Amino acid sequence: MTKSELISSIFDNKSYLCVGLDPDMGRLPKCLMDCEDPIFEFNRAIIEATKDYCIAYKPNLAFYEAHGAKGWESLEKTMQVIPKDKFTIADAKRGDIGNTSRLYAQTFFDQLNFDAVTVAPYMGEDSVKPFLSFNDKWVILLALTSNVGANDFQMLETKQGNYLYQQVLEKSQCWAGDDQIMYVVGANKPEALAAIREMVPNHFLLVPGVGAQGGDLREISLAALNKECGLLVNASRSIIYASSDTDFAAAAREEAKKLQVGMAEILQQIS
């Protein structure tokens, strides 16, 4: 998906919500447990219930790999039921030497047909570049994550006078433009979000951590929206586990709708 298609989708749907498809077998509704593929049936119901309110879906690979070959099949089937106009993100946090990163890129872009992959920057340019050689596909580079451990290295001050995550933002802008790279920035860091927006005025930011992880939608948005929106806000657990009963899909729909209504109001202020 191109950047202009993504922006159109956001303003057409009045939403910049990404729904995280992180199906944890221990938390799935009991009513699905007799299905042949509970993970896929859960995802299908969640997608059907939320598709009117979101513009992107983000499966985290860990939840599929946990079930081996069967989990991988659940992921493939899930990708087939996501509507074609949704932006899809493989939350895989990969990154390896060049020939190996190329294989990961082929897997997620060519075979599974994702629009984007999250990539860890630690191994540098040649570990990220192979993901950037696909048309209309995206790298979403980890910059400043929402977990406590972000302080260990991402917030280390460098000799250049800024933090490591700012070095990641700076250097990676030489690798490709804002039509191919986005950045992950945690929702629990609104001051940092505003500073990051100054450094990368035109890039999309993927902001996880709204909902279960505690980030506030309005605060995040005011800190980091740009005139093209420039934000994908992800919620996973607060939506997909809104109820653990037979009404789980309806409850997920309500949670997604709440966030979308908030987003529609916020978007109105910039259009």
Active site positions, annotated: 93
CB of residue 252 to a second copy, shortest distance in Å: 19
Reported as half-sphere exposure (CB side, CA atoms, 13 A), residue 223 has a value of 22
Question: In this complex, which beta carbon is closest to a second copy, that of residue 5 or of residue 65?
Answer: 65
- Sign of the torsion angle spanned by Cα atoms 3, 5, 8, 9: negative
CB of residue 266 to a second copy, shortest distance in Å: 26
b/e burial code for range 136-164 (CB count within 10 A of at least 16 → b): ebbbbbbbbbbeeebeeebeeeeeeeebb
Question: In this complex, which beta carbon is closest to a second copy, that of residue 163 or of residue 204?
Answer: 163
d(CA 21, CA 64): 10
Burial (CB count within 10 angstroms: exposed 0-12, middle 13-18, buried 19+), residue 212: middle
Residues in the chain, total: 271
Question: In this complex, which beta carbon is closest to a second copy, that of residue 237 or of residue 258?
Answer: 237
Question: In this complex, which beta carbon is closest to a second copy, that of residue 211 or of residue 230?
Answer: 211
Q: What DSSP letter does each residue of 10-24 carry, written as one string?
A: HHHHT--EEEEE---
Residues 6+ apart with CB under 8 A from 242: 248, 251, 252, 254, 255
Residue the block writes with tokens 């202009």: 4
Question: In this complex, which beta carbon is closest to a second copy, that of residue 3 or of residue 189?
Answer: 189
CB 260 within 8 A of CB 239: no
CB of residue 104 to a second copy, shortest distance in Å: 5
CB of residue 126 to a second copy, shortest distance in Å: 4
Question: In this complex, which beta carbon is closest to a second copy, that of residue 63 or of residue 204?
Answer: 63
- In the chain, how long is the greatest CA-to-CA distance? 57
Residue the block writes with tokens 């302080």: 151
d(CA 110, CA 224): 32
CB 145 within 8 A of CB 154: yes
Contact residues for a second copy (CB under 8 A)?
22, 24, 60, 62-63, 65-66, 68-70, 72-73, 76, 91, 93-98, 100-101, 103-104, 106-107, 111-112, 120-128, 142, 145-154, 156-160, 164, 167-168, 171
CB of residue 14 to a second copy, shortest distance in Å: 29
CB of residue 108 to a second copy, shortest distance in Å: 9
